[in-house]
Structure 1
Amino acid sequence: MSQSAPKGLRLHIGLFGRRNVGKSSLLNAITRQQVAIVSPVAGTTTDPVEKPMELLPLGPVLFIDTAGIDDVGALGEMRIARTTAVFDRTDLGIVVSAGGEWGPFERELVAALQSRRIPVLVAMNKADQNRATDAPAAELAAAGIPLVHTAAIDGTGIGELRQRLIELAPADFVDSPAIVSDLVGPGETAVLVVPIDKEAPKGRLILPQVQTIRDLLDGDALCLVVKERELRHALDLLRTPPKLVVTDSQAFLKVAADVPPEVRMTGFSILFSRSKGDLLTQVAGALAIERLQPGDRVLIAEACAHHPIGEDIGRVKIPRWLTQFVGGQLEFTHVQGHDFPADLHRYRLVIQCGSCMLNRRAVLSRILHCREAGVPITNYGLAIAYSLGIFARALSPFPAALELYRSLAHDDGGR
C-alpha cells in the first residue's frame, strides 16, 4: 500500500512515557523525518502527533507521538486524557524511558497496555547520556517484554527498534480479516449497489466501496458496480446469478425487493462490522432496538468528522428509522472521530458507523467498553436492517450470525 493508505488500514503504533524522555526525537529518528517538534522544555508535545509511513515488510503504519503522561495542572489533565485515549486505538505500544529511569510509573504504562492485550516493547532512550542499570533489563526479560537501548541523537538502536516492531506486529494486522472476497470466491460475481447522492464525493466513491472493490479484485472475484435504479436490469443481464449483492444500507429496502430471495444480500456496513469489529456481538446488540422505549438515550458514533449534508445517514436517517420503529422520540447523542464517552451508562444503545476510518483495535476497544458498561452496541447497517424489518435477509451471507439472531430472537419471545 502507498502513503495514501487510509488510517484504518494502518498498524497504529503509540509512543508513551514521561515528559522529556525523548519520544518526539525517537519518532523523528524512526521515520527519518522531522515530524515532531523537539525541545528540551518538558511538555512541548501537547496533543498526539500522527505520522503515517511505510515500515517494510509490514507495510503502512501510523506512529502516534503522545504528550507526556505525567503532565501537571488543569491543562496537563486534558493532555493526559487525550494521551490515554490513544490506548484504545493502539495496536502496538512503545514505552519510552530516559536511560536509567524505571519505576512504578513506567510499570503502570506497561500494565495499562498489557491489560488491553496490546503488544509492548520498552525503549530506554538517551542511552548516550545514561545507560540503564541491569535491574530493569532483568525485570523486563522475566516478563517477556523486549527492551531496546536507543539514542535518537545518533541513531543508536533505531534499526533494532524497527525490527522489534515488525516481530511484535499483531497477527490480526498481518492476517487481517477479508472484507468480502471469502464470501464470493475466485471467478464468482459480486454486485455492488452504490447510490450516488449528495454525500458521495464528486468524481469518487466513498472509502468502504473502494476497499470492498479492491478486496474482491485481490480475491480474483468479478465485480459489477451499479446504482440502485439499474440493479434489476443488471441482474437480468447476468447469465448466472451473482454469488452476493452488497448495497449501501440506505438502499436496503429497494435492493431487498429487487434481489431474488435465493441470492444472498447484505450491506457494506455489515461487511465492515465483521472485518473491523465483532459481527456476532453487534448482531446481538441490534436486538436491543426491540427493547427501546420513547425517551431512551442512543449514542451514534461516527469515525469520520465530516460535515453533515442534507439527509445525513447518522444525523437524520437512522434517528428517523429508529423513531418510527419505537413509535416515539428517542434522545440521540452524536460523537465523531476518535471521541468516545468514558461513561456509557446513560445510554440504552450505542450505534457505531462502519468504521472504515478506524483500525480494528479501536473498534474492538469500543465494543469492550460497551460490554464492561453493560450497554449493547451495534453498527449502522445492522441497526438499519433491523429497524426496516430485513435483518435475517441482511445476515444471509453469515450463517453463524443468522443462527445467533434466530436463537436470541426465540429466547426473547419469538420476535
Structure 2
Amino acid sequence: MGALRIQRTKEIINKTDLAILVISLEEFSHDYKDFALELEWCKSLKSKSIPVVGVLNKIDLAASKEDIIEKLSLLEDIFQIQFVSISAEEKLNLKALKSSIIKLTPENFNSSNLVGDIIKSGSKVLLVAPQDIQAPKGRLILPQVQVLRDLLDNKAIPVTVTLDNLDMALELLNYKPDLVITDSQVFKIVHSKINEETPLTSFSIIMARSKGDLAEFVRGAKTIRSLKAGDKILIAEACTHHQLKGDIAREKLPTLLKSIEENIIVDNYSGKDFPENLNQYKLVIQCGSCMFNRAEVMSRIESCKEKGVPITNFGVAIAEINGILDRVIKPFHI
C-alpha cells in the first residue's frame, strides 16, 4: 500500500498548482536525516516549478515562543522555503497561512481569460460548432461552452452556428465578423469560406493557449512535415470515452497524419495514462485538455521537453496539416 500511495502522490503532483508541506512540532527533530522523505518531495516539487508553502503545525504544544522561532529558522534553513507556524487544533495563525498561500499562488491560477484579451466589447464573433459525435445529444462540448461564456463575460456578441448554416451567418454579419472560432475538424472548409482578412482560430487552439504553451505546440507541429516511415506518434486524450465511428483521436487525426506519411505508427492513450518511455516517439499530440487543469498539461509538456520529444495539440496539428497554421495563430500574436 505504501508504494501505491507514493505513486498516487507522484501522479497528483503533475496537476498541482501549489503544495503545502506540513511538519508537526511534536515530531520535530534536529536530525536532518529525519526529513529525508520531506526533502525528497520538496525537491520534486521545486523541479516542476511548483511553489511550496511550509507549515509548522501544533505550535500550541511548544514550550515557548522562542522554541517556535528556533524551529522555524531551522526548517527554513533545511528546506530553503518560507515556513509559517500554526495550530490547526487551536486555530492559531491561520490568517498568516492563508496570506502565504495567496502570496505564492501562481499568477495564472485565477486566470479564466480565453479570448477576452483579443476582442473588444461589442466584437461580433462567429462560432462554428458542428455536432460532435462524442457530445451528449443536445449539448455543446465543454470547450465551446467555455469560450461562449468567456465571450459573453467580455461583452462580445457571439453568433453560434453549425457548419451547414455558416454561409447564412456570414451573410447576416455582412461577411465581416471580428473573429471566427471553429471546430478544428472543419478548419479547411471554414478557411475557404471567410475572407483572408478575417481573424480565424479554433476552440482547440484557444484551449492550447489557455491550458498549455501555444508557442511550444506550434514548434511541435512544424515537425509533422518531416515525419518518415516507421516513426511513432503518440495521440493523448485527457478524457476517456467509448470510441465511436469518426472519432477524432483514433480515426480522423491518424488519417490526416498519414496523408503526410502513410507508414507512420500511431499509439493512443487516454485519461491519466501517459507513457514514461517518450523517447520512442517522434511527436506527441495532446487534445485540447478541457478536462485537465493547466498544471497537468504543462507537466506533459515538460516531460516531452526533458526527453527532447516535440509536442503539439489537436487543433495546432490539424492547422499545420491543412497549411493554415500561421493564419490561425495570428490572433494571438505568436
- TM-score, normalisation: structure 1: 0.72
**CA-to-aligned-CA distance 1:349-392 (integer Å, 9 cap, x gap):** 00011111212222122111111100000000011111223323
CA distance in 2, matches of 1:336, 1:151: 42
Shift of 1:289: 0.9
Q: Is the 8 A contact 1:122 1:146 kept in 2?
A: yes
**CA-to-aligned-CA distance 1:196-228 (integer Å, 9 cap, x gap):** 142222222111111111111122111110001
Shift of 1:127: 4.5
CA distance in 1, matches of 2:98, 2:332: 39
Flag the 1:154–1:306 CA change in 2: closer, same or farther, 3 A. Answer: farther
Q: 1:255 corresponds to which letter in structure 2?
A: V
Provide the secondary structure at the position in 2 that maps to 1:252.
helix
**CA-to-aligned-CA distance 1:108-129 (integer Å, 9 cap, x gap):** 2222222222111123345556
Flag the 1:188–1:249 CA change in 2: closer, same or farther, 3 A. Answer: same
Matches within 5 A, 1:26-37: none
Matches within 5 A, 1:299-314: 299-314=234-249
**CA-to-aligned-CA distance 1:144-163 (integer Å, 9 cap, x gap):** 63323445455455454334
**CA-to-aligned-CA distance 1:32-71 (integer Å, 9 cap, x gap):** xxxxxxxxxxxxxxxxxxxxxxxxxxxxxxxxxxxxxxxx
Match of 1:347 among 281, 293, 306: 281
Match of 2:5 among 74, 79, 93: 79
Matches within 5 A, 1:176-325: 176=111, 178-239=113-174, 241-325=176-260
Q: 1:331 corresponds to which letter in structure 2?
A: I
Q: Is residue 101 from structure 1 mapped to residue 33 from structure 2 by the alignment?
A: no
Q: Is the 8 A contact 1:300 1:335 kept in 2?
A: yes
**CA-to-aligned-CA distance 1:136-187 (integer Å, 9 cap, x gap):** 410344576332344545545545433432232111213x263112222111
Matches within 5 A, 1:46-195: 75-99=1-25, 100-101=27-28, 103-127=35-59, 134-141=69-76, 145-153=81-89, 155-174=91-110, 176=111, 178-195=113-130
CA distance in 1, matches of 2:269, 2:55: 35
Q: Is the 8 A contact 2:129 2:161 kept in 1?
A: yes
Shift of 1:304: 1.4
Q: Is the 8 A contact 1:232 1:259 kept in 2?
A: no
Shift of 1:89: 1.2
Structure with the bigger percentage of helix: 2
Comparing both chains, which one has the higher relative contact order based on Cα–Cα distances under 8 Å and sequence gaps of 6 or more? 2
**CA-to-aligned-CA distance 1:243-300 (integer Å, 9 cap, x gap):** 1111011111211121122212111111111111111111010011112122211111
Deviates more, 1:201-210 or 1:140-149: 140-149
Match of 2:266 among 327, 332, 356: 332
Per the alignment, residue 32 of structure 2 pairs with none
Q: Is the 8 A contact 1:303 1:356 kept in 2?
A: yes
Provide the secondary structure at the position in 1 that maps to 2:272.
coil
Provide the secondary structure at the position in 2 that maps to 1:396.
helix
Q: Is the 8 A contact 1:266 1:394 kept in 2?
A: yes
CA distance in 2, matches of 1:113, 1:284: 27
- TM-score, normalisation: structure 2: 0.89
Flag the 1:127–1:339 CA change in 2: closer, same or farther, 3 A. Answer: farther
User: Quick one: percent identity of the two aligned structures?
Assistant: 43
Q: 2:2 corresponds to which letter in structure 1?
A: G
Q: Is residue 394 from structure 1 mapped to residue 328 from structure 2 by the alignment?
A: yes
Q: Is the 8 A contact 2:240 2:270 kept in 1?
A: yes
Per the alignment, residue 361 of structure 1 pairs with 295
Flag the 1:260–1:372 CA change in 2: closer, same or farther, 3 A. Answer: same
Provide the secondary structure at the position in 2 that maps to 1:105.
helix
